[in-house]
Amino acid sequence: MNNQGKKPGQSGRRGQEQGQGKGRMRNNAGRGRANSSAASKAASTAPVQKNDEVTLDIIGLTHEGDGVGRVEGFTLFVEDALPGERIVAHVLKVKKQYGYAKLKKRLTDSEDRVEVTGRPEHYGGCQLEYMSYDAQLRWKQQHVVDVLERIGKFEVSKLTEAGSKVEGATELEAANDREAGVGCGASAFDMSDAINGTTNGVDSADTGATIESIQVLPTLGMDNPWRYRNKAQIPIGKDARTGELIGGYFARASHRIIDTDASLIQHEAMDAAMKIVKDVARQYGVAPYNEETHTGLLRHVVIRYGFHTNEMMIVLVTNGERLPQKEVIVDALVDRLPQLKSICQNINTKQTNVIMGDKTKVLWGSETITDYIGDLQFAISARSFYQVNPVQTEVLYEEAVKLAGLTGQETVIDAYCGIGTISLFLAQRAKRVLGVEIVEEAIADARRNAALNGITNTEFAVGASEVVIPQWKSAGITADVIVVDPPRKGCDPALLDTMLEMRPERIVYVSCNPSTLARDLRVLADGGYTVKIVQPVDMFPHTPHVECVSLLQLN
Decide: is 547 part of the binding site for ligand SAM (CB under 6 A).
Answer: no
Interface stretch with ligand SAM, choices 107-115, 183-191, 205-213, 484-492 (CB under 6 A): 484-492
User: Pick from 465, 515, 535, 543: which binds ligand SAM (CB under 6 A)?
Assistant: 465
66 in a labelled binding site: no
Decide: is 418 part of the binding site for ligand SAM (CB under 6 A).
Answer: yes
- Amino acid letter for position 544: P
Decide: is 417 part of the binding site for ligand SAM (CB under 6 A).
Answer: yes
Interface stretch with ligand SAM, choices 140-148, 173-181, 241-249, 410-418 (CB under 6 A): 410-418
If the CB atoms of residues 367 and 485 are measured against ligand SAM, the closer one turns out to be 485
71 beta partners: 74
Decide: is 462 part of the binding site for ligand SAM (CB under 6 A).
Answer: no
Interface stretch with ligand SAM, choices 248-256, 264-272, 333-341, 382-390 (CB under 6 A): 382-390
The answer to whether the CB of 90 falls within 8 A of the CB of 80 is: no
Does the annotation mark 491 as catalytic? no
User: Pick from 123, 154, 364, 385: which binds ligand SAM (CB under 6 A)?
Assistant: 385
- 491-530 binders of ligand SAM (CB under 6 A): 492, 512
Decide: is 175 part of the binding site for ligand SAM (CB under 6 A).
Answer: no
Q: How many Cβ atoms are within 10 Å of 214's Cβ, its own excluded?
A: 27
507 beta partners: 482, 552
Name the residue among 347, 340, 337 with its Cα closest to residue 316. 347
Looking at the chain, how many residues does it have? 555
Active-site entry in 344, 417, 512, 548:
512
If the CB atoms of residues 50 and 231 are measured against ligand SAM, the closer one turns out to be 231
User: Pick from 376, 439, 446, 533: which binds ligand SAM (CB under 6 A)?
Assistant: 439
Decide: is 438 part of the binding site for ligand SAM (CB under 6 A).
Answer: yes
Give the shortest CB-387-to-ligand SAM separation in angstroms: 5
Number of residues located near ligand SAM, criterion CB under 6 A: 21
User: Pick from 112, 212, 437, 480: which binds ligand SAM (CB under 6 A)?
Assistant: 437
177 in a labelled binding site: no
If the CB atoms of residues 336 and 519 are measured against ligand SAM, the closer one turns out to be 519
If the CB atoms of residues 287 and 452 are measured against ligand SAM, the closer one turns out to be 452
Dist CA 137 CA 320 (whole Å):
43
If the CB atoms of residues 348 and 421 are measured against ligand SAM, the closer one turns out to be 421
DSSP string, 357-386: -SEEEEEEE-SEEEEEETTEEEEEETTS--
Report how far Cα 432 is from the mean position of its chain's Cα atoms: 30
Q: How far is CA 374 from CA 350, 367, 408, 422, 452, in A?
A: 38, 23, 20, 12, 14
Dist CA 519 CA 526 (whole Å):
11
Name the residue among 553, 551, 554, 502 with its Cα closest to residue 215. 551
Decide: is 364 part of the binding site for ligand SAM (CB under 6 A).
Answer: no
Burial of 2 (0-12, 13-18, 19+ CB in 10 A): middle
Give the shortest CB-397-to-ligand SAM separation in angstroms: 7
Name the residue among 398, 405, 476, 394 with its Cα closest to residue 434. 476
387 in a labelled binding site: yes
Strand, helix or coil for residue 202: strand
Give the shortest CB-376-to-ligand SAM separation in angstroms: 12
The answer to whether the CB of 239 falls within 8 A of the CB of 278 is: no
485 in a labelled binding site: yes
Decide: is 212 part of the binding site for ligand SAM (CB under 6 A).
Answer: no
Q: How far is CA 283 from CA 2, 276, 280, 286, 328, in A?
A: 25, 10, 5, 8, 10
Give the shortest CB-436-to-ligand SAM separation in angstroms: 6
Decide: is 445 part of the binding site for ligand SAM (CB under 6 A).
Answer: no
Decide: is 446 part of the binding site for ligand SAM (CB under 6 A).
Answer: no
Helix, strand, coil % over all residues of the chain, rounded to 5: 25, 30, 45
Burial code of 352-369, b = ≥16 C-beta within 10 A, e = fewer? eeebbbeebbebbbbbbb
231 beta partners: 304
Decide: is 154 part of the binding site for ligand SAM (CB under 6 A).
Answer: no
Binding residues: 387, 416, 437, 485
Catalytic residues: 512
Annotated binding site for S-adenosyl-L-methionine: 387, 416, 437, 485
Q: List contacts with ligand SAM (CB under 6 A).
A: 385-387, 416-418, 421-422, 436-439, 442, 464-466, 485-487, 492, 512
